[in-house]
Structure 1
Amino acid sequence: MTEDVPLYERDPAAWEAHLAEGNARQPRKRVSADLLIRDRAGRILLVDPSYKPDWDLPGGMAEANEPPHVAAHREVAEELGLDVRAGDLLCIDWVAPHGPWDDLLAFIFDGGELDDQRAAAIRMADGELNAAEFCTEAQARQRLRPYVWTRVAAALDALKTGRPAYLQTFRAEN
Structure 2
Amino acid sequence: MASCQPITLPRTIERVSSSQSRPAPRLRYAAYMTGLRHFRMGAGVVIRGEGERVLLVEPTYKENWEIPGGVVEADEAPWATAEREVREELGLEFRVQQPLLIDHLTTDVQLDEGMASLLASGRLTEDEAAVLRAERALSAVMWLFDGGTLSDSEVDALRLPAAELRSVRLCTMDEVRDRVNAGMWRRLTLALEAARGGTGPVLCADGVPRARS
Question: Does TM, scored on the shorter chain, surpass 0.5?
Answer: yes
* Alignment partner of 1:142 out of 175, 178, 187: 178
Residue 90 of structure 1 corresponds to 100
TM superposition shift of 1:118: 3.0
Give TM-score, length-normalised by structure 1: 0.80
Residue 6 of structure 1 corresponds to none
Alignment of 1:28 with 2:38, yes or no, is: yes
What is the RMSD computed on CA atoms of the aligned residues?
A: 2.1
What is the identity, as a one-letter code, of the residue corresponding to 1:78? E
Matches within 5 A, 1:18-97: 18-97=28-107
TM superposition shift of 1:84: 3.2
Structure 2: how far apart are the matches of 1:121 and 1:68?
Answer: 27
TM superposition shift of 1:31: 0.7
Residue 138 of structure 2 corresponds to 102
Instruction: Please list every run of at least 4 consecutive aligned residues from structure 1 whose deviation after the TM superposition is greater than 6 angstroms.
Output: none
Identity of aligned residues (%): 35
TM superposition shift of 1:104: 1.1
Compared CA separation, residues 161 and 19, structure 1 to 2 (3 A): farther
CA contact (8 A) 1:79 1:126 kept: no
Give TM-score, length-normalised by structure 2: 0.66
TM superposition shift of 1:125: 2.4
Aligned residues: 155
TM superposition shift of 1:146: 1.4
Where in structure 1 are there 5+ consecutive unaligned residues?
1-16
CA contact (8 A) 1:47 1:55 kept: yes
Alignment of 1:160 with 2:196, yes or no, is: yes
SS class of match (2:174): helix
CA contact (8 A) 1:58 1:75 kept: yes
Residue 131 of structure 1 corresponds to 167
CA contact (8 A) 1:48 1:54 kept: yes
Structure 2: how far apart are the matches of 1:70 and 1:117?
Answer: 26
